[in-house]
Amino acid sequence: MTETLAPRARKVKILATLGPASSDAKTIRRLYLAGADAFRINMSHGDQKAKTKLVEHIRALEKEFRRPSTILFDLQGPKLRVGQFEGGRAVFEKGSRFIFDQDDRPGDNGRVLLPHPELFAAVKPGTNILIDDGKIRLNVVKVGDGQIVCEVKVGGAVSDNKGVNVPDVLVPIPALTDKDRDDLQFALDQRADWIALSFVQRPEDVAEARSLIGDRAALLAKIEKPAAIDRLNDIVALADAVMVARGDLGVELPPEAVPPLQNRIVACARQFGKPVVVATQMLESMITSPTPTRAEVSDVATAIYDGADAVMLSAESAAGQYPCEAVQMMDRIANTVERDPSYQARVHFTQTRLEPTTADALAGSARQIAGTIEATAMVCYTSSGSTARRIARERPPVPLLAMSASLHTSRRLGLLWGVHAVHTRDVSSFEEMVEKAKRMALRHQIAKGGERVIVMAGIPFQKAGSTNVLHVVRLIGDELDRYHGTGDSAEQ
């Protein structure tokens, strides 16, 4: 038996990562009911066969609750790693010399294999090399003869295959490895809604992924490399969305540099009208604790006040002991923040500049009209999702019901601020559009009889990017009953 899930009370979305703690159908359903709006499948762990089951479980929710489900596949990206050590580990002594080379023999306290020849040509004296998420820090002294000679600045124990970061260098490697290309094809075969591209350094990385994906999925660029900050506008312009991936960004930059960069990335994405996700360590302590720290709660709240489209849980929901509690906590934080009387002013601190188009002009006007006439909600028709994105960009004070005849579009809208997506049959006339908008607003409980709703669409219908109509309607209490059984039973 299916039931219609009422829209969330909040506008910011919650993206929950699935993993060992949340891989069965029952737990995924509990996460969904707890408040997860979209699910992240991390291709860095596990095999493809297991991911197929995750997709099946998520899509089953779509049928049960008659609401489009949203799946993001996160590609691993080109992870740089050291080789192996004799005995599985070595100790780097502060002040000592250490050599990275291309010799595949097991390493020791003085040298180890670095199986990335591109780095030998890219680094130079003065370059910083970080190991194990920045716990070990070295500075390059000399490069040549197949060796990178370093001085250990911060020492400690290093085990086999630990990750390497080179924050000062634009590493000349592609954003897509052979594994990523294989995983990308798998994700597209599974009809992924979003593809997350890791370790983006330049716009060309996004363009390469776009050429492989086409229009089969939307593309999210993860901003986690300092080099990406230098080309931020160009990267955001090419991507469909961006993520503030604070994990690696915080490794390669001083910790105090991350908060202002988070603000900058969120503001840039909002200017472009692209969804922006804030991620990594948001409720980190809830991996092992049923409650977060006050600092973590404040961190989540700050991202919401800044106007992020979505906030993400990583290990908290993927491998933690309290995955559902973490989602519930994030949901409570978001609801509390959005009820704050100062929230609307704070979320509009970043001013978005409207493009000189009819669609942008109407989106901007709709937000003002909603406040002036005290409308309860907005409804839009969209084939590509562009109308919904334009309206969401303005952060209106009321929810947006976005209807689309395209299931792919409806699913992708799951990362968009304030949008409740509905997959429905298309309409063929202005009158039919208005009547269906009224009926769906009542059916999906975003408005009640007697309340005003703003309707936006483009005429002619089925033409992407043609938004040119703004219409205000007042709902009648018995309209849903009058139109019951008019052929909408197939709507999802």
Read off the pLDDT of residues 457-476 as tens digits, 9 standing for 90 and up: 877 766 665 678 888 999 98
Residue in the structure block whose two tokens are 């593309």: 219
Q: Which pTM does this prediction carry? A: 0.91
Between 479 and 333, the more confident residue is 333
Q: What is the pLDDT of residues 370-399, one digit of tens each?
A: 888 889 999 998 889 998 999 999 999 999
CATH architecture of 358-482: 3-Layer(aba) Sandwich (3.40)
pLDDT in the model for residue 465: 58
Tell me, what amino acid is at 216?
Answer: R
pLDDT in the model for residue 489: 38
Burial class, 20, CB count within 10 angstroms (exposed 0-12 / middle 13-18 / buried 19+): exposed
- Would you list the DSSP string of 430-477? HHHHHHHHHHHHHHTTS--TT-EEEEEEESSTT-TT-EEEEEEEE--T
* Cα dihedral across residues 167, 170, 171, 176: positive or negative: positive
pLDDT in the model for residue 426: 83
Fold classified for 13-77+175-341: TIM Barrel (3.20.20)
Show the beta-strand stretches assigned E in 256-373. 276-279, 310-313
pLDDT in the model for residue 4: 58
Q: What is the pLDDT of residues 99-122, one digit of tens each?
A: 999 999 999 999 999 999 999 999
Q: Which CATH superfamily is domain 86-165 in?
A: PK beta-barrel domain-like (2.40.33.10)
Between 87 and 2, the more confident residue is 87
Comparing 62-66, 236-240, 355-359, which segment has the lowest mean pLDDT? Answer: 355-359
CA distance 90 to 224: 28
Residue 26 has a CB neighbour count (10 Å cut-off) of 9
Task: State the span(s) of the chain assigned CATH 2.40.33.10.
Answer: 86-165
Task: State the span(s) of the chain assigned CATH 3.40.1380.20.
Answer: 358-482
Task: State the span(s) of the chain assigned CATH 3.20.20.60.
Answer: 13-77+175-341
Show the beta-strand stretches assigned E in 370-418. 377-381, 400-404
Residue 171 has a CB neighbour count (10 Å cut-off) of 19
Q: Name all contacts of 138-141 with Cβ < 8 Å and 24+ positions apart.
A: 138/92, 138/98, 141/97
Task: State the chain's mean pLDDT as an integer.
Answer: 91
